Chains A and B, each alone.
Chain A
């Protein structure tokens, strides 16, 4: 039974990867656009300051990984609306392999983008060192799976592509602008910084930025990994429970409660970090260090 699940997951993963490689829109959004942002941000904000270049790499990696959220929700809704999922339902497959394969294939597709972004930053944008590659790998792995699962939850609770796009837009905007993935978190008022700790994106963004700049200890990065890992387990189980093969299948009355449940780990982490944790202090300290390093080198400003 378990071997069948693994086998079917792998079969589906392979075909999903192949289909994605034939999709030009996917290649543009997953590879070309993040690279464009990387060059743009480094040119505008870093101006040759290698510490900030590494920080920007962390932010771009965050966007690349978070893209899983958008891509998977849209794909699942599209497959459901077109009746493609119905055909798969007739085969001896469960929801588990369908969902796990979409997460796994997405991860396989994210890895080359991440590698290219790191290599381009290192050799074309002259980043010093490589950052903490193990930590980056770990965060990309867990982060990709977690945000994929969030995307699958969105796909399960929305009925149409239009609805999915609207909800994605709202969540994506919050993830992008309030997590430190675009504007450094330390620049925000303290109450926004506190609020950002309730968002999964913040753990990914701070983790990847710290890993890229080598500004955090392993223990600090492990906290981000644990937060995202718990989020992943909860989100995957909820997405499995809410999964619908049919476009007209009704959502269970408890669906909204399950969605709230997916946020519980981050509500808990956010509450802890706001009351007892030192994450915000570290974020502010790291920001100061980046600025100090930048000012110590007069020709390198941001």
Chain B
């Protein structure tokens, strides 16, 4: 297909008095894993659900494979696979039955046994949905999303609430999709997920796309700063830490001071001197290489989990 597989231009969406989207625009190329990174309530799910044909935008354009998701019906649904933010199935449906059931709705579909094997659900094939763990339920949700071998896959926070081990399993599955040249739109608020899996990331907040780029590009845009997180015995006045040597910006989050420094050693020396003169004490100090979290903080002044 020529041109972007997913095209979003100027999407607006209100829920009553709450504005969820304020002109979201981006495009996703064929075979690309594209991430929407932002905190809860940023508008990620609304964007994805408009693209899945589940919601109607108030204004703007949404196209998937050149089709209008809201109006293209079965033809569109045959092309996509989706994992909702929260998937629910009847408690008493068995794992194999669920995959068979959804497979049968599509003209072209994969083999249930192959999917059970691929998603490590063979042992649970006869288990009821209610008997599955969170990770198994999510693997089943992904298996169901891929049952029709879709061209485009939407994954709405596929690892939210899962333990690290299960998260890594889901990452492996997404990497497999990437190798299979599927076009994937992934929403997440996990930095690690966006950095590891996405070819490009759109940082989204308050219903607006703030920045788009590859994880590397975005981190470079963070001016190569090092993040220094410190906890102090006594609070310091607003703006004081921002004046220290080589500090690009400084913010306080729940008692932790986060400094972005262009030359970390200089900043640390200046910080220690300032604390001595202020009769304050350093309780902890941690240094981090620049991450997408830093980009997000720089751009929004907030942390992803705020």
> CB within 8 Å of B: which residues of A?
4, 7-8, 11-12, 15, 18-19, 22-23, 79, 82-84, 86-87, 89-94, 245-246
A90 touching B54, Cβ below 8 Å: yes
Is the Cβ of B74 less than 8 Å from the Cβ of A4? yes
Residues B105 and A93 in contact, CB atoms below 8 Å apart: yes
A91 CA to B78 CA in the complex, in Å?
Answer: 8
- B257 CB within 8 Å of chain A: no
Determine the residue in chain B with the shortest Cβ distance to A83.
B88
B14 at the interface (CB under 8 A from A): no
Complex partner residue of B88 from A22, A82, A92, CB under 8 angstroms: A82
Residues 50-92 of B contacting A (Cβ, < 8 Å): 52, 54, 73-74, 77-78, 80, 82, 84, 86-90, 92
- Asked if B54 contacts A89 (CB within 8 A), the reply is yes
Q: Please, how many angstroms separate the alpha-carbon atoms of A84 and B87 in the complex?
A: 7
Complexed CA–CA distance, A14 and B106 (Å): 17
With beta carbons under 8 angstroms apart, the residue of B74, B77, B88 that contacts A87 is B88
**Is the beta-carbon distance between B102 and A91 smaller than 8 angstroms?**
yes
B84 touches A92 (CB 8 A): no
Which residues of A have CB within 8 Å of B82?
90
B101: contacting residue among A15, A82, A89, A245, CB under 8 A? A15
B104 at the interface (CB under 8 A from A): yes
Q: Is the CB of B89 within 8 A of A87?
A: yes
Given known contacts A15-B97, A90-B52, A92-B106, is B73 in contact with A84 (CB within 8 Å)?
Answer: no
User: Which residues of B lie under 8 Å from residue A18 when comparing CB positions?
Assistant: 97
Please state if A19 and B93 are interface contacts (CB–CB under 8 Å).
yes
* Alpha-carbon gap, A23 to B90, bound state (A): 11
Q: Which of B77, B93, B101 contacts A92 (CB 8 A)?
A: B77
Question: Are B97 and A86 touching (Cβ within 8 A)?
Answer: no
Give the one of B88, B90, B102, B144 with max A CB within 10 A. B90
Rounded to whole Å, the gap between the CB of A27 and the closest CB of chain B is 12
Sample (12) of A-B pairs whose CB atoms are under 8 Å apart? A7-B104, A15-B101, A23-B92, A83-B84, A84-B88, A84-B89, A86-B84, A90-B54, A90-B82, A92-B78, A92-B106, A94-B73
| Residue on A nearest B154 in the bound complex, by CB | A90
- A90 proximity list for chain B (CB < 8 A): 52, 54, 77, 80, 82, 84
Contacts of A94 in B (CB 8 A): 73
Task: Give A20's nearest chain B residue, CB to CB.
Answer: B92
